[in-house]
Amino acid sequence: MGELKVLGGGGEVAVTTRFSDLLQWARKWSLFQYPFVTACCGMEFMATAAPRYDIARFGAEAPRFSPRQSDVLWIVGTISQRQGPVVRRIWEQMADPKWVVAFGTCASCGGFYDNYTTIPGVDKVIPVDVYIPGCPPRPEAVLDALMLLQDKIQANDRKPIIVPPNHVVENAPGNAKETDS
């Protein structure tokens, strides 16, 4: 939460910070999400929301199926040309501040649907904050994206970002390569 100063001593403690920092801190831990799920990525989204990966740990467990009540628009899956106006309308109905996550390759760049049916990336229609690669992405990547988004919210940074690849398998205990040193 940026700069924290503890003043005083004994029984009474006062903490100072900037108001904007406090506001962003509150926002990032209370993200109401609108899942716009159109394709197979939805299964991974469900896995992320279910207890094993438990997106509730990040304060983002409550889905709101009204755009007027939500903060984050998850575009989960392929967006066809016919859905373009719908996505645009939903995004316009969301109240500021709002964020958009492109979940999976299709939402990010159209994937292998290089043809007349599909919008090549939902960012052609609405601005996107975080892109998650993968077809579909693993729940770990989704949680990485959520944490990236929280960092962006805290820093008040609207520059789009792609979730970097994470070599989970190589780094996992037991899978680490043996080295001489």
**Residues at the interface with other proteins (CB under 8 A):** 81-82, 84-85, 88, 105, 108-109, 111-112, 114-121, 123-127, 131, 133, 159-162, 165
Least separation in angstroms between residue 65's CB and other proteins is: 22
CB of 130 to other proteins, least distance (A): 11
Q: Which is closer to other proteins, CB of 55 or CB of 144?
A: 144
Q: Least distance from C-beta 4 to other proteins, angstroms? A: 29
Please state, in angstroms and rounded to a whole number, the distance separating the CA atoms of residues 160 and 48. 22
Angle at 26 between CA 20 and CA 32, to 5 degrees: 125
CA distances (Å), 37 to each of 47, 48, 56, 65, 94, in order?
Answer: 13, 13, 19, 11, 17
Nearer to other proteins, 71 or 129 (CB): 129
Exposure string (b/e) for 82-117, b if CB count within 10 Å is 16 or more?
ebbeebeebbeebeeebbbbbbbbbbbbbbebeeee
Looking at the Cβ atoms of 21 and 93, the one nearer to other proteins is 93
Alpha-carbon distance 56 to 152, whole Å? 19
Nearer to other proteins, 21 or 38 (CB): 38
Find the shortest distance in angstroms from Cβ 156 to other proteins. Answer: 16
Q: Rounded to whole angstroms, how far apart are CA atoms 145 and 147? A: 5
Q: Residue for token digits 């939402």?
A: 107
Nearer Cβ to other proteins (42/121): 121
- CB of residue 160 to other proteins, shortest distance in Å: 4
